[in-house]
Structure 1
C-alpha cells in the first residue's frame, strides 16, 4: 500500500491532511514527517496534495509528477500497472476548430466550438458528438486527439465534435429546463447547417454526465448517451451533496429518468470510478435502467473523479457505442 509522506523535520505545521478525495484524510506525524497510507484497491493513479496548517494551505509532494486540474496543480501517483491510453501516441487525423453561435432558449445565443477532421467539408454529411464541458474534454481529455486516432485507424467514420461550455455551469447542468431546451434548439440549427445522416451522440462528465442523460432521454435525435461519473444525486443514499443549491431539482430529474419510457434506439454508456463518491449513485441508476429494459453498458474504472480518469475511460466504451449507433455511415 502506498504511503504518502511530507517531510517536516522542524515540525513547522501543527497538522497536515492528504487532499485526495474519498481516500484522503488526516496524516500522522512519524519520524520527522507527515504520513498517510492509502489502499491501492480500485485505484491505479491518484491526484493529491497536502493541506498544511489550520488553514489547509496546499503543498505538492516534491518527488511526484504534477498534473494541472480544474482546481489547480496536483501531485500524481501511479500504480505500477498503470498505462496511458495507446491512442495518445497513435497516428491521428488532424482537425480544425471553428466557433459557432447557436440559437438558445436562454438570454443569449449559445457559443460553442466545433472540431472538424481534415478533409471533411461543411456540406459533407457526418455524425456529431456533442460534449458538455467541451473545454475540459479538449484541454484535459484530448478528445480531438482521441477522435483523430480513431478516424485515422478507420475504427470510426469522420465525425464532428461540438465542444459546449456553460458560463453558469452549476445552474445549467443541474436539470435547467432552459438549458435543455437550448440544446434541443442548437441541435436543430446544427443539422440545418451541417448535414448528418446518423443519430447524435451526447457526452459529459459529472454534472455534464447528468445533463447528457437528460438530453438523450428527451430528444429522439440522440442515439448515444455517454456519461462519465455522472452526478445522479439521490436523496435516499446521497447525503454529502444535499447542501448544493440545485440538489432537489437534480433528485427530481434523476427520479424522472427511471420513469422514462424505454427507447430501443438509444444506446447508453456509463463509467465511474470504483472508489469515487458518485459510484453508488451510478451503479444504482445503471442497474435500474438495465432492469427496466434500457440498452445500458456500465463499467467502473480504477481512478477517481478527474479529467485524466475520464480521458483514460473513453476507450473502449465510447467508440463501441458510436459504432453501434453509426453503423450505417462508414
Structure 2
C-alpha cells in the first residue's frame, strides 16, 4: 500500500491554525458541513467494486501546506491551490482530501519512543498516546470539513463525489465517506432525513442504465427505510401507477403505525395486522429494493418480523436483500 510521504509529520507546525486550541475557529469555518466525529468509527463493509484513489502528489502537497498554515487567509490560499490542481472538480478533489486525511491518520499513535535507562526502549504512556490519537483525529477531521467547505460545491456534487468512496479499499476512507454522507442527510429528532442528493445520484445511474450503488442504497435504508423506499420509487423512474401505488400504499400503512406510536395513539411496541400484511406483500415484490425495505425495517423493528417473512428474505436470491441480516448484526 502506498504510504503518503508526509505521514510521519504527526504534529502540526508550531502556530498552525489546525491545532486543538483552534477547534472553535474551525467549527465556524466548517459550519455549513457535516461534522466528523473525533472517535474512530467501525468502517462499513464494501458491497461493490473496490474503489482506489490514486494520489495526485501536487494536490497532496498543497493540502499538507494548508494543514500547517498559520491563519485563515493562508489556509484559504493553500486550499485554493489544491482545488485548482484538480480543475475545480469535486469528483477529483473530494477523494484527494479523504486520501490525505487517511494518510495522516495512519500516523496517529506513532509516538516516538525515547531510550530508557540501560539503553532499552521506553514504554510510551498509553494515556498520552490515546490523547494524541483523539486530538489528531479531531484536527484532521476538522480539516476535511474546512477543505470541502472551501470547494464551494453544491450538496448534490459533494454527495455524488462521496458516494463511490463507500466502496474504497481503505477502511478509514469508507468510514469518513459514510460519516459525511450521514451528515448531509441533515437528520434530526424533529425532521426527516433529506435524501434529495441521494435521489439525484440514483437517477443519474438509472439514466445511464446502471444499477444503483449497493453501498449507497444500504446506507439510505439503514437511515430511514420508508424514506429510502419512496426515494427509490421515484429515482428508479417507475412510470406505471399500477406498480407505484401498491408500493407507496403499503409503506404508508407501516408509516402510519409508527406515527401512532410516536404520538401515543397506540403503545410504543404495538403491532397492527395491516402493517404486518403490508410487509408480507412487499417481501414478495419482484424488485430487490422493495424487498430490501422490508428486510431493513424488520431488522430494526423485530416485533414486526413474521418468521415466514424473515426466512423468505434471509434466503432471497439477491444478496442485497440479505445484507441487512448480515451487516453489523451478526446474523
- Larger fraction in helix: 2
- Larger fraction in strand: 1
Larger RCO (CA within 8 A; separation ≥ 6): 2
Report which of the two structures shows the higher radius of gyration computed on alpha carbons. 2
TM-score by length of 2: 0.30
